[in-house]
Structure 1
Amino acid sequence: MANSGDSVLEMYLYETNTLLEQLDNIMLAAEQADTLSQDDVNEIFRIMHTLKGSAAMMEYEPLMTIAHRIEDLFYLIRENTMDIVPEQDRPKLFDLLFRSIDYFRDEIGKIEKGEPLSTNIDRFVETINMFIDKIKNDGQVAGSSGEAPSADQAAAQGCRTATVENAPAGYPFALRVFLDEGCGMENLRAFMIVSDVRDSGTQFLYQPEDLESNTARSPEIAENGFTMYFAAENERKAAIPLISDLGFVKTYQEIDAAPAPEAQRDEKQEPAPEATGQTEPQKAAPAAGAEATSGKGSGHQIKQSLISVNLSKLDQLMAVVGEIVITETMVTASPDLRGIEDAKLDNFYKSARQLRKLTDELQDISMSLRMVPVSGTFQKMRRIVRDMGQKLGRKAQLSIIGEDTEIDKTIVDAISDPIMHIVRNSMDHGIEPDEQMRIDAGKNPVGEITLSAQNTGSEVIIKIEDDGMGVDCDAVLRKALRQGLASPDVEYNQREIMNFLMMPGFSTNQEVTEFSGRGVGMDVVKKNVETVGGVVTMTSEKGKGSCTTLKIPLTTAIMDGMEVRVGESIFTIPIQNIRQSFKVTEKDIIHDAMQGEIINKMEEFYPVVRLYNVYGIEPQSTSINDGILVWVESSESSCCLFVDELLGKQQVVIKPLPSYLNNFKIKDAGIAGCTILGDGNISLILDVTNLMDFISGSAGY
C-alpha cells in the first residue's frame, strides 16, 4: 500500500502541475486581450473543479477550499458571461487568478518537499468572497447565489432508487456512485471512496474489482459509475454520508434486490434517468483489457496513447542500454578474435553488423524517451516577464523561437533556473526603466526579450536576447578593479570584461532589490550550466541590448568523444570542446619567460598543456614533434593539449566516478567520469572547463 500511496501522490502532483501550467497560459493570453472568452471561462471552471476534487481526494483541505471558492467565482461568471465583471475590475480578477496559481504552486512545492501545508487561508478566502460579492452587486445578479451546487445538493437531487436482479449472494443492497464529469483519475478516486467506507468498519463488495490497479477503468467509471454491494440496508445508509461528503462525487443511486411497493410506485411516477441505458450493475466486471474487444472499449483504448513514466525508470533503462552498448563493443572487439582469418569470420562479422545496427536503434529510442521539448520551461518565462513588468513598471514582451526543440529531461530541469535568472536580468538590468528613454533612443516603447532554442545536432544553443540598454563595460571594469578582480596594469577587451559578470559575488547593482544586488547571479548560472556539460557566453552592445548564449549537450548519458592516448593511459575528450587537432614542430612553439609553451593559431596565442605533466603520467615521448596537439575550448578559454596519439572518434557511455573519489577533488582536476572501452579498459573523460581552471590554478602551467 505504501507504493500505491506514492503512485497516487505522484499522479496527483503531475496532474496538478499540468493544470496549473494550462491555467497560467490561459491567464497570460487573457490579460493581453483584457478579457476572458467564454471558452476560457469554461476551461478555468473545469480546471478549478478538478483541482478541488483532487485536493479533496488527497485530503488537502486548504487547497480544496481555495479551489472551491474560485470555482464558485467562475460558476457565477460562466452563468452570466464576462459582462458581469466590470472592465475596471478585470485586472483585479486577473491578479486574483495569478495569486491563486502562485498559492497552489507554493503549496505543491511544500507537498513535494514533505512539508506541512499552510492553514492560514482565511484572508485569501475573504478576498475571493469580497470579489464575488462585488461583481454580484455591481452586475446586479438577481436570484444567484454565485455558488456551484455542492456535492451534497447534487447527491440529494440525483438520488434515485432502482432495482437489481442478480446481486452477489448475501449482498442485496447496492449503491451506484457517479463522479463529477472531467474530474480525472476516476479509477483512483473510486478506490479512495472504497477505502474510506472500508475504514469505517463496513464489510462490502464492489465492482469493478480492479479499481486501484487498472487505469483503463477510468473511462468506464466516468460514464457508468461504479457499484458497491452491502449485506444490510443500514450499512448502505451509513456509507452514504461518507460518500456524499467528497467533493468529486456527483450523485449516487440506491439499488435494491427486492423492490418495495412504495419504491415501485415512486418509480412509476418519476423514472430514474440515471438507470436508463446503464450497464446492469449486478453483472461481474469484465477482466482487465476486455474493453478492447468491444467497439466502445476500442474507442477508450485510443485515448490511452500517452502515458507518464517515472524518470528513475528511464534512468534504469538508459543504464541497461549503456551496458548493452559496452558489451556489444567488447564482443566485437574481443582479443580472442585476433589471429583468425577474416574469411572464417564472415558470418560473425555479418551478425556483428546487424547487432550494431540494432544496438544503435535501441540507443536512439531509449535516448528519445528522455527527450522533452523546452516549451514548458520557455512558457514559464512569460509569467516572469509579466510579474516583473508590473512590479518594476516596465512594459516588455517575450518572443519565443524554437520551443519544440528537445533536450534530455534532466538537462531541461537543470537549465530552468539559469534561464529564469537571465530573463530576470534582462528585465531588471536590460530593459529601460521608462518608456520615454526607449522613445528617445528610437526604440519601440515596449521592450522585447527573445528566447530561442536551436538544435545543431550535437548540442542545443539557447539564446536570451533583449533590446535594452546593454552592458556598460566601463562600469563593469571599474567595479572589477574595486573588488580586486581586475588588474589596473592590464588592458582588457570586451569579452574579458563581460566575463567579470560571471565571477562569484559580482553585481553592478548599487542597492539590493527584490530581484538583484545580492551578489548571487551569473556565477551561479555559469556553474549550473557547466554542471550538465554546457558553456555560457555573454555579448552586449551599449544602447542596443545584450545576448546570453547557452550551449547545452543533448544528453548527459551518452556523448561523442575523441579517444587520445597519453603514455599507457587513454582519455576521452568531448567532441563539442574540440576545435581542431594538428601536428607541430619545435620551431612552432614559443617559450615565455616562465618556461611555458605557447603557440600562435589564427592570430591568437594559446598555451600548450602537456597532459602527462598535469596527471603525472610516464609519456611515450616528450618531443613535440612526435605527438599531436588538440585545440580545446570552454566558454571563452582555450588551450592546446599535447597528447601522444589520436585513437579516433567514438560514442561513449558516461559512467559516473565512485562517490568516495570526491574526497580527492578529482572532478576539480578535470575528470568528469569514465567509460569502458571495447577491450575492457577504462578511459577517463575530461571535463575541459574544470581542467582549464585546474591548470590556471596550478604552478607551472
Structure 2
Amino acid sequence: MSGIDSMTEFYVYENMQLLEQLEEILLSGQSDTGELSQEEIEEIFRAMHTIKGSSAMMGYDSLMNLTHSIEDVFDEIRSGRKLTQSKWEEVIDVVLAIIDFLKDEISKVQEGLFPQASIEELYQRSSNLLKEDIEENISYNTQVDETVDEVVNLDSNGMKIKVFFEDGCGMESIRALGVLMSLEGMHSSIKTVPENLEDDCDGEIAQNGLLLVLENPIDKEAIEKAIQGTMFLKCFEIEEPNENNKEEVAEAEVSEKIEEIEIKEDLNKEETVIEETITNKEETHVLEVVKEESQTEVKENKIEEKKTLDKNKSNKETKNNFLTVNINKIDILMNLVGEIVTTESMVEKQSQLENFDRDNFEKQARRLHQLTAELQDVVMSIRMVPISSTFTKMQRVVRDMSKKTGKIVDLELIGEQTEVDKTILENISDPLMHMIRNSMDHGVEMPEERKAAGKPEKATVTLEAKNTGGDVVIVIKDDGRGLNKEAIVKKAIEKGITTKRLEEISDKEAYNFIMAPGFSTKEAVTEYSGRGVGMDVVHTNIKKLRGSITIDSESGKGTMFIIRIPLTLAIIDGMKVEIGNEIYIIPSLNIKEVFRSGSYEIVKNPNGEEHSIVRGNCYKIHRLADILGIESKDKNEGIMILVESEIGNICIIVDKIIGQQNVVIKPIPQLLTQFEKVQSYMSGCSILEDGSISLIFDVNSIITR
C-alpha cells in the first residue's frame, strides 16, 4: 500500500475482516426469538475488543471510544443481562450503523487520511442502549484504594513510581506491561499494583494509575528517561528509597508534591510526549483546562502534519488487495515449484549431452508440462474464495429495505460456499445488490396484497450459487407478482427500444427489455428505483465479467434471474481458429459440436439469412468473416461450429481450426478498443507462442447479434 506503513496496512486489513465477520454474525445469527447465542455474543465482544485495542495503539481515539461503548454493551449482555426482542432489534440496528461508520473511517485510513468524523450521535445511541439497567459499582474504588495503600505502606526500601496514562487512551494494562519492559535491567526485582497486568485491569489502572516498587534501582535519571518514552503518558511521580517519612509522603503525594506541567511537542515526529504532575489538590480544575487545551494542540499538530505529508505525495495511493490462503495450498505450491526446478534442470542437461537421448528428453518435457499444469491448478485454487461474504451483504440489503418499505421478506441463501475467483467476487457484489433491491421493490408485494392473493404475508427471496462446468451460476428468485409483459412492451415502444407489436414479441424478448438503458416501468422515482439505471448497470457489469443474464417470470408466481459467469477471469480453455489471415480464439466451453466442410447443409430463408438443420433442429448461421468485415479464404467452404450459451444456440463458420490450448486472458490493448467490432464482439485477448496477439470472441455477443 503506497504511502502508508506496514502497521497501518495491517490495521486496515485486520479490522475490515473483523467488521465483515461482525456483520455476518449479526445478520445470520439471530434465532426466531431475535436473540443471539452466547457464543455469538462472546465473538462480537472479542471482535470489538480487538478493534478497540488496535485503534488505541494507532492513536485513533474516536474509533477506540466508539468500539469501547459497544464492547461495554456486549459485556453487560454476556454477563447475563436479558433483552426483549425489540431491544435486540435496537442493539443490532445500532451495531450495524457503527459497523458502517467504522468501515468508512477505516477506508479513510487506507487512503492515508486521519479518521476525523464525529462519533457523537452513534456514541450517544450506543451509550443509551442499556443505560437504565447499568448500576454503579460503589465498592470498586474503595477496594482498589485499599490495595494501593497496602502496597505503598510495605516496609520496603524500594523506589516507588506512580504512573498515570492519558484519559481514554485505552489498553492501559498493555501500556503498563510496556513500562515494565522499558525498565528491564534497571532493578533487581519489581512489584506492581495491580499485581497481574496480564489480566483485564484497564479500568483499575485508568482510575488509580500504575504503582511500581523497584528493589535496588539504578540511576534515577535513566529510569525517568525510560518512563518518559512511554506513549500516552500523562504524568509520573518517583519516591526515592532513601527518603524519610515514606508513609507520610505516600499519603500526601497528591496534595503536597507540586510540579509544573511540561508539554513537549515536536511537529517532525509522529509521537508527542505529555508530561504533567498535579500541582495542588485545589488546582484540579485549572489542570483539566490546561490538559484539554494541550490535547487540542496535539491533535491540530497531527492534522497539520498529515496535510503536509499529503501535499508531498506525488502519486495517488493505490489500494492493495489481500487474500487469506489455506496453508496446505502454500505447501503444495512450494513442493511443485521444487519439482519444476528439478525437472527443468534435467531437461536442460539432456539437451546438452553429447549422446542426446530423444526419448528421455521428451519424457522429461512431458513431466515438466504436467507439473506446470498442476502449478496452474494450485495457483487458480488459491484465488478461489467462497461467495458467502457477498451473499451475507445481501442480508443487510433485505433487512434495511424491509424496515423502510414495510414488506416482510425472508432471504434464503443456497450454495454460499461455492467458490469463485476473488476478482469476480469483488465485481459481482454491486450487480447482486441492484437485483435484490429490484426484487424487493418491483417483485415483492406488500403484506396485505399478498394476503389478498392467498400468499403468505412473508415473501421469500432466494439467492443461490452453484458450479456448472467452468461457470458459476447465480440465481435470484422471488415469489412476488412477476413481470408484466404488456407493461414492459408498452414502455419499450414508448422509449423507442422496439418497433414490434406486442403479439410479435416473445416473453423472453420482452423480459430482456428491462435491461435496456433508461428503462423503468416505475411512474415515480423512489429511493430504490425509477431512474432506469439499475438493470442497465447490472447487464453492463456482468458483461464485463464475460457473463450473461437470462430472465424468467410467471405472473402472480414470481421472477427468476439467472447469472452465468466464468469461474475465473485469468485462464480459459480455447479453440484457435483461422479467419482470413488472422488467428482468433473461441472459448471451448461454448463449443458444442464441430462440422467439417461438406458435412453440413445450408439453407436460406426469404430474407437471405442462412440456417442449418442439425439433428432436427434449425440453427441460424453467422459467418465470422462477414461479422468482422474481413475477406474469407473460401466463401463457399469452411468449418461450421455449433456454439451454445444459456441465451441460445447458433452456428458459426470459420476458415480453419488450428487446435485447442489453455490461454491466459489479457485486456484488449487500448489501440484496438477504438474499433467498434472489437468492442462489440471480443471479450479479451491472449498472447500466442510466437508473440502475436489473438482476440477472444464473446460468444454471447455473437448470439444476440
Question: Common fold, TM-score beyond 0.5?
Answer: yes
Between 121-130 and 367-376, the greater mean CA deviation after superposition? 121-130
- Residues 345 and 68 of structure 1, relative CA distance in 2, 3 Å threshold: same
CA distance in structure 2 between the partners assigned to 1:462 and 1:569 by the alignment: 36
Q: What are the equivalent positions in structure 2 for 1:136-175 lying under 5 Å apart? A: 136=134, 143=138, 154-155=172-173, 167=185
Query: Aligned AA for 2:514?
Result: L
1:578 aligns with 2:596: no
- Residues 577 and 129 of structure 1, relative CA distance in 2, 3 Å threshold: same
* Structure 1 match to 2:657: 646
* Structure 1 match to 2:469: 457
Q: What are the equivalent positions in structure 2 for 1:97-496 lying under 5 Å apart? A: 97-113=95-111, 117-136=115-134, 143=138, 154-155=172-173, 167=185, 232-240=222-230, 242=232, 260=241, 310=322, 345-434=358-447, 436-489=448-501, 491-496=504-509
Contact map agreement 2:644 2:650 (CA 8 A) in 1: yes
CA distance in structure 1 between the partners assigned to 2:66 and 2:589 by the alignment: 50
TM-score computed with the length of structure 1 as normaliser: 0.71
Query: Aligned AA for 1:90?
Result: W
The CA deviation at 1:26 is 2.5
The CA deviation at 1:164 is 11
Deviations 1:361-386 (A, max 9, x none): 11111111111111111121111111
Contact map agreement 2:52 2:64 (CA 8 A) in 1: yes
Secondary structure of residue in 2 paired with 1:82: coil
Contact map agreement 2:3 2:112 (CA 8 A) in 1: no
Contact map agreement 1:608 1:641 (CA 8 A) in 2: yes
Contact map agreement 1:86 1:135 (CA 8 A) in 2: no
Secondary structure of residue in 2 paired with 1:18: helix
- Residues 173 and 449 of structure 1, relative CA distance in 2, 3 Å threshold: same
CA distance in structure 1 between the partners assigned to 2:132 and 2:185 by the alignment: 53
Q: What are the equivalent positions in structure 2 for 1:606-625 lying under 5 Å apart? A: 606-623=619-636
Contact map agreement 2:465 2:474 (CA 8 A) in 1: yes
Secondary structure of residue in 1 paired with 2:420: strand
CA distance in structure 1 between the partners assigned to 2:230 and 2:560 by the alignment: 62
The CA deviation at 1:638 is 4.7
* Structure 2 match to 1:47: 47
Query: Aligned AA for 2:8?
Result: L
Contact map agreement 1:589 1:598 (CA 8 A) in 2: yes
Query: Aligned AA for 2:10?
Result: M
Between 660-669 and 442-451, the greater mean CA deviation after superposition? 660-669
Q: What are the equivalent positions in structure 2 for 1:581-600 lying under 5 Å apart? A: 581-583=594-596, 588-592=601-605, 595-600=608-613
Secondary structure of residue in 2 paired with 1:508: coil
Any unmatched runs of 5+ in structure 2? 142-166, 202-218, 248-319, 331-350
Query: Aligned AA for 2:458?
Result: V
Larger Rg: 2
Query: Aligned AA for 2:46?
Result: R
Contact map agreement 2:488 2:521 (CA 8 A) in 1: yes
Deviations 1:90-132 (A, max 9, x none): 3322221222122222333444455664523322222233334
Contact map agreement 1:174 1:230 (CA 8 A) in 2: no
CA distance in structure 1 between the partners assigned to 2:102 and 2:178 by the alignment: 37
Query: Aligned AA for 2:426?
Result: D
Query: Aligned AA for 1:124?
Result: L
* Structure 2 match to 1:565: 578
Contact map agreement 1:571 1:684 (CA 8 A) in 2: yes
* Structure 1 match to 2:687: 676
CA distance in structure 2 between the partners assigned to 1:529 and 1:153 by the alignment: 46
CA distance in structure 2 between the partners assigned to 1:538 and 1:57 by the alignment: 51
CA distance in structure 1 between the partners assigned to 2:417 and 2:139 by the alignment: 45
* Structure 2 match to 1:501: 514
Secondary structure of residue in 2 paired with 1:505: coil
- Residues 393 and 650 of structure 1, relative CA distance in 2, 3 Å threshold: same
CA distance in structure 2 between the partners assigned to 1:30 and 1:52 by the alignment: 24
The CA deviation at 1:163 is 11
Secondary structure of residue in 2 paired with 1:30: coil
Contact map agreement 2:412 2:461 (CA 8 A) in 1: yes
* Structure 1 match to 2:89: 91
- Residues 611 and 374 of structure 1, relative CA distance in 2, 3 Å threshold: same
Query: Aligned AA for 1:66?
Result: L
Between 109-118 and 644-653, the greater mean CA deviation after superposition? 109-118
- Residues 433 and 260 of structure 1, relative CA distance in 2, 3 Å threshold: same
The CA deviation at 1:523 is 1.7
Secondary structure of residue in 2 paired with 1:471: coil
Secondary structure of residue in 2 paired with 1:661: coil
* Structure 1 match to 2:344: none
CA distance in structure 1 between the partners assigned to 2:534 and 2:69 by the alignment: 39
1:73 aligns with 2:86: no
Paired residue total: 573
CA distance in structure 2 between the partners assigned to 1:130 and 1:593 by the alignment: 77
Deviations 1:651-693 (A, max 9, x none): 2122333333333456414233332344555432112344566
CA distance in structure 2 between the partners assigned to 1:688 and 1:465 by the alignment: 26
Contact map agreement 1:48 1:71 (CA 8 A) in 2: yes
CA distance in structure 2 between the partners assigned to 1:377 and 1:110 by the alignment: 22
Query: Aligned AA for 2:50?
Result: T
CA distance in structure 1 between the partners assigned to 2:63 and 2:181 by the alignment: 39
The CA deviation at 1:442 is 3.9
Secondary structure of residue in 2 paired with 1:131: coil
Deviations 1:534-565 (A, max 9, x none): 11111111111111111111111100111212
Query: Aligned AA for 2:470?
Result: S
Query: Aligned AA for 1:104?
Result: L
Query: Aligned AA for 1:120?
Result: S
- Residues 468 and 121 of structure 1, relative CA distance in 2, 3 Å threshold: same
CA distance in structure 1 between the partners assigned to 2:659 and 2:449 by the alignment: 56
The CA deviation at 1:634 is 5.2
* Structure 2 match to 1:292: none
Any unmatched runs of 5+ in structure 1? 184-228, 246-251, 267-307, 318-336, 338-342, 697-701
CA distance in structure 2 between the partners assigned to 1:128 and 1:145 by the alignment: 24
CA distance in structure 1 between the partners assigned to 2:90 and 2:368 by the alignment: 63
Deviations 1:373-414 (A, max 9, x none): 111111211111111111111112122121111111001111
Secondary structure of residue in 2 paired with 1:510: coil
- Residues 145 and 526 of structure 1, relative CA distance in 2, 3 Å threshold: farther
- Residues 664 and 92 of structure 1, relative CA distance in 2, 3 Å threshold: same
- Residues 230 and 421 of structure 1, relative CA distance in 2, 3 Å threshold: farther
The CA deviation at 1:54 is 2.0
CA distance in structure 1 between the partners assigned to 2:487 and 2:178 by the alignment: 78
CA distance in structure 2 between the partners assigned to 1:674 and 1:157 by the alignment: 56
Contact map agreement 1:50 1:182 (CA 8 A) in 2: no
Contact map agreement 1:560 1:651 (CA 8 A) in 2: yes
Contact map agreement 2:56 2:170 (CA 8 A) in 1: no
CA distance in structure 1 between the partners assigned to 2:180 and 2:60 by the alignment: 35
The CA deviation at 1:70 is 1.8
CA distance in structure 1 between the partners assigned to 2:452 and 2:611 by the alignment: 49
Query: Aligned AA for 2:93?
Result: D
* Structure 2 match to 1:332: none
Contact map agreement 1:230 1:236 (CA 8 A) in 2: no
TM-score computed with the length of structure 2 as normaliser: 0.70
Query: Aligned AA for 1:507?
Result: S
- Residues 408 and 236 of structure 1, relative CA distance in 2, 3 Å threshold: same
Secondary structure of residue in 1 paired with 2:593: strand
